[in-house]
Amino acid sequence: MALPRPTDAELIILRVLWNRGPSTVRQVYQVMSQERDLAYTTVLKTLQVMTDKGLVVRDDSTRTHVFQPACSETQTQGGLVLDLMDRAFEGSAMRLVQAALSQKRASRTEMEAIRQLLDSQGGGES
């Protein structure tokens, strides 16, 4: 079963959880409040919604609830890429990559990594 697509705010919280590991609302709030002005209750409510949607899992075995992502960062990114590829590029990986590279120039290091990835997939020419 595919998980729902996270909103931008939910992705920010997921990034905190992927980087920190399982965290309380307060811990997530402390990380997020360093970069943006927001209320503790906003983080709490968003995590509650994310729990209901199945994006995070809540451990309520202790007084302070601990949240962790339901899926890994790689799984979530993969789902988002597949969704975008299907919706905007008619399922074409080539069109997706062309659009991405035409919108933002990749560094030399990134281009080399892309070439190596293509070679490892059997899609590159040497």
pLDDT tens for 30-46 read 999 999 999 999 999 99
**pTM of the full structure:** 0.82
HSE-CB of 59 using CA atoms within 13 angstroms: 11
Residues 6+ away with beta carbon under 8 Å from 30: none
The 3-class SS string of the chain reads CCCCCCCHHHHHHHHHHHHHCCECHHHHHHHHHCCCCCCHHHHHHHHHHHHHHCCEEEECCCCCCEEEECCCHHHHHHHHHHHHHHHHHCCCHHHHHHHHHHHCCCCHHHHHHHHHHHHHCCCCCC
Architecture of the CATH domain 8-69: Orthogonal Bundle (1.10)
Q: Is the dihedral of CA 35, 49, 53, 82 positive or negative?
A: negative
Tell me the domain boundaries of the chain.
8-69, 73-120
pLDDT at 16 over 80: yes
Residue 118 confidence class, pLDDT cut points 50, 70, 90: confident
Confidence of residue 121 (pLDDT cuts 50, 70, 90): confident
Residues 26, 44: Cα–Cα separation, whole Å: 8
Q: 12: which 2 tokens?
A: 């920010």
